[in-house]
Structure 1
Amino acid sequence: MGFIAEGNTLVWEDAEQYAQYVKDHGIIQFLNIYNANKDRFADQFKWGDEVEYILISKDQDGKSFKLKLRAHEILDKLFQEEKMNPDNVDYLWRPEYGRFMIEGTPGKPYIGMGRQLLAVQTSLQGRRASVERYLKQDESIVTLASYPLLGVKQTFTEPSGQVRGVVAESQFLPDTVINPHFRFSTLTANIRKRRGGNVSINIPMFKDTNTPAYLDSTTYISSPSTSLSSTKPYNIYMDAMGFGMGCCCLQTTFQLSNIEEARTVYDHMAVFAPIMLSLTASSSIFKGYLSDIDARWTVISQSVDDRTPEELGQRELKHNKFVINKSRYDSIDSFLSRSSSFRSEYNDLDLVYDKDIYNKLIEGGVDDLLAKHYAHLFIRDPLVIYSDKITIDDTKHSDHFENIQSTNWQTVRFKPPSPGVDIGWRVEFRPMEVQLTDFQNAAFIVFSALMVKAVSDLKLNFYVPISKVDENMKTAHNRDSCRVDKFYFRKNIHNNSPNGSIESEYELMTINEIFNGKSDFTGLISIVKRYVQSLNFDFETNQTISKYIDFVSKRASGEIKSISTWTREFVRNHPDYNHDSIVTEKIQTDYLARCLDITNNIIHDPEIQGNFN
């Protein structure tokens, strides 16, 4: 979720007056970090993952599931275990947005490659078991990207709550779904207040044979915070941050040897992000309806969009400084690397950035590309300000910098070292959707780690223009994009001295072609396999990694379905489904039971698992 501190948070009316102060001092803090660490080198390759879980419970009659709103109680017990031996814990636990969500990470980062790769699935299994110790008899945790009936009319939480609370003011979600830590309620309320009304999330509904254009008046409203409210046919409308930040994801973070390697990895993984979003797609039901998208990303993007009408370009700029093209949760807008494979033409978006902040960064010794990157991030206001942490020592703390940095939720995040901690330059890879089994999650975690190392060690070149990356992000959301759509991808990923026209460097390819190759393109699977062979792992490590890579290969080829495709087919084949796009409580009950049986190895479903356990 990002930077979480202890203290008293300010409501937007009070926080707004400190916004510029926080931004000014955030830049000072970054300059202190940058100048202290710009020449840092030879850091070990350290990495880790974050997995988010949903807590559910089953009614005594066994006829329905509910979101169980007591994740914070379980987290309190896990925190106590951490405090008993903070320097030697197997897992770390952190609160997430939903009162039904738990986030777990390894207790310590993995170092290097080799047998560390075997520890990933073991860690995931151990984390799941650690949480399960504190579950009640009727409770389960599941690694599910989106809860199907979140926000439906009937009660969907245990305990139940009343909608139209003072924090989210949602007609669908009660405030009780929000984690009780004050940061989350403040973030929710301040986004709503800053933009001047509730967030407006709109995604296309899957049009089945019996789907009417309009099902109910609340489902299709597209802009409730203005006097020009309108309705859209075949539209799923949601009105609260919880619909997006209540989704679960799978993230990985990598420490590189120095700032230049981190900048290069950041660029190439940004290009790779929409490809992996499509490959891991696992969310196709929202607010009780089958959607016509396969991925959560746009739902989260819209759920935290705090732009005002002026920043959206709907009104003349008077109170705000910039027209901003994207939500603060979106794809990146500029590349950072100064390597020989980078061409300035790849940064083909009209980057919006704060010129004053840019000049301060240049004067502080930061180069043009990095200065524009942070001047772009700092066009955003801080959303959560702690009243007792406004005046702090900029040489010892980075709270103000992290306030802006950690609420720019982009597909990849470039992370500087932290003051007073022996941590180097890092890259966080954020697009992947969580999978049902520990094996599947481990496969994507390990594959992303191998890809990062291959990019760096083999000097792979994924560059395409940023505008094409944005188009790929849109394509990644399409229904069954992993099997039927094409993505812009570089023809020659070994060419590190590009010349000639930019347009000649890339073409449209399917996910299968990108991973498994075609006549004139060596797929990423072959490259990663050869890279693994060069590392001379022991037999057990090679055997395990081979299974992970083969699973990814078969997901890319379509032999193994994405969870989104499998979910949609499960609903459409269910005897209770009327082919009207509505996911009933009975359908959800059977669906979640099936997911739990797969997760817990009670059944094996080859459609989404292949022959892998």
Structure 2
Amino acid sequence: MGLLQLGTALEWPEAKKNAAKVRSWGIEQLLAIWNRAKGKERDALLWGDEVEYLVVAFDEENQKVRLSLAQAEILKSLARNEALWKVGGEVPGMTAERAGEALPTFHPEFGRFMLEATPGRPWGIDFRDLLKVESNMRWRREIAKGHMAPNEYPVTLTTFPRLGTKDDYIRPYFPPSGPALRSQFVPDEIANPHIRFPTLAGNIRSRRGRKVEINVPVFKDKETPWPFHDPTVNYDLHDWPEDADVRNGAAKEGHVYMDAMAFGMGSCCLQITFQAKNITEGRKLYDQLSPLGPILLALTAATPIYKGFLVDTDVRWNQISRAVDCRTPEELGEVPLKNDRWRIPKSRYASNSTYISQDPRLRKEYLDPDLVIDEELKARLIEGGMDDLLATHFAHLFIRDPIVIFSEDLKELDINEVNHFENLQSTNWQHMRFKPPPLDKDIGWRVEFRSMEIQMTDFENAAFSIFMVLITRAILSFDLNFYIPIPRTTENMETAHARNAVLEKKFYFRKNPFPSRTPRPQENGSGPASAGPSSAAPSAPPSPPLGPVESEYALMSIADIINGSPDGTFPGLVPLVEFYLNSVNVDVETRCALARYLDLIRKRADGTLWTGAKWLREFVANHPDYHSDSVVSEKIAYDLVKAAHEITEKEGKNESVGWQMLTGKKA
């Protein structure tokens, strides 16, 4: 979640007048950070995960499930009990066997029905830390539940299946609309009341000159009305000027239409932040993890339902992108440039568009040819001592306007603060984020990996978190090279949205990740199906002279990317991780424990285990109340969320619900 502070927030006309000042002051604060921290060193990797929950309330009598807008009350209760725990009191979910552990930290999110939880202290690289992640995630869920009403539960679904429908899907109920969102589907009260959130939503709408426009292709089933026109759209509303949007074509044929920030920022995800030992290592991780973003997005796919309809996509990313897209018609290229500075190809929530490592393997052909930057701000960064690559990165982020400005911050520039820098940094939601050290804290340069969808169980969320940590270790240990041109990663992000993309689509990926004369994993056979990698491996041959960039990558299935290609030409990410584990002599017990997590990744990639999206689709399709018309009714939603809660507790064991995602077999 972005920067939270109190103050007098400016409405868009006034914010627009001060946008250039905030950008300029943000650059000065960035230079101050750069000069203080560019030589900062850390001894070891630290990392942390962020898990987000929906708070749902079950109405057993009426067989309904609703979102509970109880975030503030839950967080207050958690804060009171944290203080009690510190003096030895008894607290729900905080048991004696956890004594000495750092309490998890809970945070607000955009939706009043959401919570975010992080570990109480960062994880280290010690393998014993990796084996604590799952139990810590489970503990967080137990603590959260202990501070909720008896019929409320924290569930890790990406979206609520009936958010924005005509029924009473929230508790307490508020009718749709309001001055900030002006939505015909959701009320303003659904958002966190902190001034940042309604201002963010209102100013995005004002800057655009219309409401946000989210159209997701509906899943066409046997009885889906066709051509499909979203039946929930009211074309006769005249409460706000923006109600004319739908009469002007905002709702597309064949699509489910949504019109508010809540439909994007009300989604849950799993994010991992890595602290590097220094800025050089951080920049390298930023670049090398970037091509993995779309792959992990498809692997974690869990979002096939919006506003009570099955849709023809499996992930959340583009919906969030459109939910915070503040671009004007000129910036979108819909009309010629007149008042705005440039056409901007992407929303401020998008796949990243820069590489930043001073790696000699970074070819100019990998860079985005359509990158838009603020040349004046870049020149100031270079004048202040920043190198061209990193200056380009931040000059690209700073093409955006600051959306939320507090009048109190405009009195004078304080280069010992970061408020103006974070104003822009925290509202550029790219799938990778490069994070400078905060002031006055013993924290280093960090990289945030942001593309993954939240999973239903703590086991799955731990597995993907641990896998990403081990991938970073393999990248750094073997100096791996995953560079592909940025436009190919952008294409991959689009490909990841396709229904069942994990099995049915191919993604651009680098064919040879090895540097010259560096040990590489070798299979004890002809392909990835054979035994694990050997501990002794010959060096790769010297690299040939550079050829066309197009010869360096190919379209691959996710099974090949994760597990290795059958012909042995690509080693696979899981075998690379296993080779890393071989190289550091992990004890047998720890190796077996880690193998459980890697097995989930491997089997998700080859289709042995289902994605959450596939399981949700199959649950709806096989529900007795489903009429093959794409509609996810209140009863289906109730049973689905109930089942998701059961999966969280039983994890598909002993033939319980959800076994297709977790065990691949009933017995």
TM-score range, shorter chain: over 0.9
Q: Helix, strand or coil for the counterpart of 2:215?
A: strand
Residues 1:214 and 2:261 aligned together: no
State whether residues 109 and 116 of structure 2, in contact with CA within 8 Å, keep that contact through their aligned partners in structure 1: yes
Correspondence for 1:200 = 213
* Structure 1: segments with no counterpart, 5+ residues: none
Given the alignment, which residue of 144, 151, 171 partners 1:131?
A: 144
Alignment of 1:142-541 (within 5 A): 142-212=155-225, 213-216=227-230, 218-219=232-233, 225=245, 228-229=248-249, 231-391=251-411, 394-495=414-515, 499-518=546-565, 519=567, 520-541=569-590
- Cα deviation, residue 611, structure 1: 6.0
- Cα deviation, residue 294, structure 1: 0.4
Residues 1:606 and 2:659 aligned together: yes
Residues 1:595 and 2:644 aligned together: yes
Cα deviation digits, residues 485-518 of structure 1 (max 9, x gap): 1000111010366711101101111010111112
- Cα deviation, residue 42, structure 1: 3.7
CA 1:226–1:145 in 2, change beyond 3 Å: closer, same or farther?
Answer: closer
Q: How big is the alpha-carbon RMSD for the aligned residues of Structure 1 and Structure 2? A: 2.1
State whether residues 241 and 303 of structure 1, in contact with CA within 8 Å, keep that contact through their aligned partners in structure 2: yes
Q: For 1:504 and 1:36, how far apart are their aligned partners in 2?
A: 41
Q: For 2:376 and 2:4, how far apart are their aligned partners in 1?
A: 28
- Cα deviation, residue 582, structure 1: 0.8
- Cα deviation, residue 137, structure 1: 1.4
Correspondence for 2:519 = none
Q: Helix, strand or coil for the counterpart of 1:152?
A: coil
State whether residues 10 and 387 of structure 1, in contact with CA within 8 Å, keep that contact through their aligned partners in structure 2: yes
Cα deviation digits, residues 218-248 of structure 1 (max 9, x gap): 5599995387426533211100000000000
- Cα deviation, residue 217, structure 1: 5.1
Q: For 1:115 and 1:599, how far apart are their aligned partners in 2?
A: 24
Q: Please say which of residues 385-394 and 309-318 is displaced more in the overlay.
A: 385-394
Given the alignment, which residue of 574, 597, 609 partners 1:560?
A: 609
State whether residues 609 and 664 of structure 2, in contact with CA within 8 Å, keep that contact through their aligned partners in structure 1: no
| Partner amino acid, structure 1, of 2:189 | T
- Cα deviation, residue 334, structure 1: 1.4
- Cα deviation, residue 612, structure 1: 10
Cα deviation digits, residues 334-377 of structure 1 (max 9, x gap): 11111122111100331101011011011111111111111110
- Cα deviation, residue 62, structure 1: 4.7
| Partner amino acid, structure 2, of 1:552 | I
CA 1:220–1:578 in 2, change beyond 3 Å: closer, same or farther?
Answer: farther
Q: Helix, strand or coil for the counterpart of 2:67?
A: strand
Correspondence for 1:550 = 599
| Partner amino acid, structure 1, of 2:549 | I
Q: Helix, strand or coil for the counterpart of 2:421?
A: helix
State whether residues 10 and 406 of structure 2, in contact with CA within 8 Å, keep that contact through their aligned partners in structure 1: yes
CA 1:612–1:418 in 2, change beyond 3 Å: closer, same or farther?
Answer: farther
- Cα deviation, residue 65, structure 1: 0.3
* Structure 2: segments with no counterpart, 5+ residues: 88-99, 236-241, 517-542
Number of residues of Structure 1 aligned to a counterpart in Structure 2: 613
Q: For 1:209 and 1:60, how far apart are their aligned partners in 2?
A: 32
Q: Helix, strand or coil for the counterpart of 1:380?
A: coil
Identity score, percent? 46
Q: Helix, strand or coil for the counterpart of 2:331?
A: coil
Q: For 2:432 and 2:168, how far apart are their aligned partners in 1?
A: 36
Correspondence for 1:34 = 34
State whether residues 230 and 257 of structure 2, in contact with CA within 8 Å, keep that contact through their aligned partners in structure 1: no
Q: Helix, strand or coil for the counterpart of 1:248?
A: coil
Correspondence for 1:16 = 16
Correspondence for 1:57 = 57
- Cα deviation, residue 387, structure 1: 2.2
- Cα deviation, residue 580, structure 1: 0.8
- Cα deviation, residue 537, structure 1: 2.7
CA 1:572–1:88 in 2, change beyond 3 Å: closer, same or farther?
Answer: closer
Q: Helix, strand or coil for the counterpart of 1:162?
A: coil
CA 1:382–1:83 in 2, change beyond 3 Å: closer, same or farther?
Answer: farther
State whether residues 213 and 250 of structure 2, in contact with CA within 8 Å, keep that contact through their aligned partners in structure 1: no
- Cα deviation, residue 60, structure 1: 4.3
Q: Helix, strand or coil for the counterpart of 1:600?
A: helix
- Cα deviation, residue 8, structure 1: 2.8
Q: Please say which of residues 181-190 and 386-395 is displaced more in the overlay.
A: 386-395
CA 1:381–1:562 in 2, change beyond 3 Å: closer, same or farther?
Answer: same
Q: For 2:553 and 2:628, how far apart are their aligned partners in 1?
A: 40
Q: For 1:44 and 1:390, how far apart are their aligned partners in 2?
A: 39
**Higher Cα Rg, which structure:** 2
Q: Please say which of residues 506-515 and 538-547 is displaced more in the overlay.
A: 538-547
State whether residues 274 and 472 of structure 1, in contact with CA within 8 Å, keep that contact through their aligned partners in structure 2: yes
Q: Please say which of residues 530-539 and 194-203 is displaced more in the overlay.
A: 530-539
| Partner amino acid, structure 2, of 1:170 | S
Residues 1:586 and 2:635 aligned together: yes
Q: Helix, strand or coil for the counterpart of 1:578?
A: coil
- Cα deviation, residue 393, structure 1: 5.2
Correspondence for 2:534 = none
| Partner amino acid, structure 1, of 2:147 | Y
Q: For 1:593 and 1:343, how far apart are their aligned partners in 2?
A: 51
Q: Helix, strand or coil for the counterpart of 1:203?
A: strand
Cα deviation digits, residues 574-595 of structure 1 (max 9, x gap): 1111111111111111111111
Q: Helix, strand or coil for the counterpart of 1:311?
A: helix
Q: For 2:149 and 2:594, how far apart are their aligned partners in 1?
A: 35
- Cα deviation, residue 10, structure 1: 2.0
- Cα deviation, residue 16, structure 1: 2.0
| Partner amino acid, structure 2, of 1:500 | G
State whether residues 220 and 231 of structure 1, in contact with CA within 8 Å, keep that contact through their aligned partners in structure 2: no
Q: For 1:109 and 1:188, how far apart are their aligned partners in 2?
A: 32
Cα deviation digits, residues 95-123 of structure 1 (max 9, x gap): 10000000000111012232110121121
CA 1:516–1:219 in 2, change beyond 3 Å: closer, same or farther?
Answer: farther
Q: For 1:29 and 1:230, how far apart are their aligned partners in 2?
A: 40
CA 1:224–1:448 in 2, change beyond 3 Å: closer, same or farther?
Answer: farther
| Partner amino acid, structure 2, of 1:10 | L
Q: For 2:250 and 2:66, how far apart are their aligned partners in 1?
A: 32
Q: For 1:510 and 1:88, how far apart are their aligned partners in 2?
A: 42
Q: Please say which of residues 470-479 and 53-62 is displaced more in the overlay.
A: 53-62
| Partner amino acid, structure 1, of 2:156 | T
State whether residues 219 and 236 of structure 1, in contact with CA within 8 Å, keep that contact through their aligned partners in structure 2: no
CA 1:363–1:216 in 2, change beyond 3 Å: closer, same or farther?
Answer: closer
Alignment of 1:63-78 (within 5 A): 63-78=63-78
State whether residues 66 and 171 of structure 2, in contact with CA within 8 Å, keep that contact through their aligned partners in structure 1: yes
- Cα deviation, residue 285, structure 1: 0.1
Q: For 1:38 and 1:158, how far apart are their aligned partners in 2?
A: 49
State whether residues 28 and 394 of structure 1, in contact with CA within 8 Å, keep that contact through their aligned partners in structure 2: no
CA 1:374–1:541 in 2, change beyond 3 Å: closer, same or farther?
Answer: same
For normalisation by structure 1, the TM-score amounts to 0.96
Q: Please say which of residues 219-228 and 22-31 is displaced more in the overlay.
A: 219-228
Q: For 2:587 and 2:82, how far apart are their aligned partners in 1?
A: 33
